[in-house]
Structure 1
Amino acid sequence: MKLLLLLFLALSGCMQSPGERGASDPVKPIDERPAAAETKEGEFVYRLVSERSEYESGGEVVLYAELIYTGPEESVTIYHAASPFSFPIRETTRGYEIGYMMNQPLLHTELRRNVPLRETYVKSGGFGEQDEREYVEFMKRFWKEGFPEGEYIVNGSADFFVGNGPDDSDKIDYRIEATVSFAVKGS
């Protein structure tokens, strides 16, 4: 009987109503989410940073990503799209996605050991005819005034490969991810 009761309590603790969940992950209160995150994979460190955990409505939101090569060579060449960095954002209050689009040429960048490659977030995202009116208004406001009031999660990544070009049999693909969050409050 005790085992059955423990099993019931464990299962009920894992259940959440739909209003308590995001699209795929539970959404933590903003004060429990980091404004900076770092992930190490192989000889690379990826950092994603929001300069603040809370911004004023209409103010500038400063996000940036860094990629650092930490391996034994003096430098390494990485291959990537227009940028190795991507900044897709989810506004959790309304459940809106702010996509991060970029051109897809094959470019290369030389990373020197322990010298960060840094890129600051620039606005991206859009809407189409099929989108709901509320989302279209949200995106128009985003483009005109900056981030509207709400809570935001940035699921950033560095996506690149190393090797001697796209046909190299020794090519190693990397997709290093980190997540940060911030809130935008009314002024």
Structure 2
Amino acid sequence: MKKIFLLIFILIALVACGTAKQDDEQIFSKDNKGIMDDFIFQLKSEKDTYTLNEPLQIYAQLEYVGESDEITIYHASSPFILELKELNTNFDFGYAMDTPLLSSTLKKREPLRIPYSFSGGYNEFSPDDYVQFVNKLMDGEFPIGRYVITGKTDFYIETDEAKQTYNMEQSIEFEVVEN
């Protein structure tokens, strides 16, 4: 009985030791895809690491794969919301967008692709280092760091029965390093 108890104790100790989080490990996801009904939403970076002042090759893509030849979706300025966060400074940049009601017609298997562009800002209460960071991003310069872009869809379609809303979310991570 003592051996069984000792064996169980050792197993519990080993399992507890093996579940430590490894924060130093760099895990980058540069391509994520979500599917909802007849739509595929993809958030993609062509690279997981960019050099300082290198243009980002990141885009959001929505593809219709339903039975009809085409479908009309309704959305604000864009069917995508692309939020940015810098992980080293923990700066979280929202996403500003005009909100008129627009429509786009998606043809079957012809993706709507929109490249990422920074769309954040600051106000009079923002700290100076945040303001400087935002100004660089507005100029198209991503400072050295690790970033996460969270992409979301926000659109709807109208059917005979009702309005169907589509909200999907994907995130990708990338890094900007010294040349």
- TM bucket (normalised to shorter chain) is 0.7 to 0.9
* Aligned equivalents of 1:176, 1:162: Cα separation in 2: 14
CA distance in 2, matches of 1:173, 1:56: 38
**Partner of residue 170, structure 1:** 162
**Cα distance change of structure 1 residues 148 and 75 upon mapping to structure 2, 3 Å threshold:** same
Does 2:41 align with 1:46?
yes
Q: 1:147-158, aligned counterparts within 5 Å?
A: 147-158=142-153
Give the counterpart of 2:173 among 143, 164, 181: 181
Instruction: Name which of 69, 87, 104 aligns with 1:74.
Output: 69
Partner of 1:24: none
Q: Which structure 2 segments of 5+ residues have no match?
A: none
Give the 3 Å change call, closer, same or farther, for CA 66–4 of structure 1 in structure 2.
Answer: same
CA distance in 1 between partners of 2:25 and 2:37 (Å)? 29
TM-score by length of 2: 0.85
**Paired positions, count:** 174
Q: Structure 1: which 5+ residue stretches go unaligned?
A: 21-26
Shift of 1:4: 7.9
The TM-score, its normalising length taken from structure 1, stands at: 0.82
Greater C-alpha Rg: 2
How far the C-alpha of 1:121 sits from its partner, in A, is 1.2
Give how far 1:155 is off: 0.6
Aligned counterparts of 1:159 and 1:3: Cα–Cα separation in 2: 50
* Structure 1 runs of 4+ with >4 Å offset: 1-16
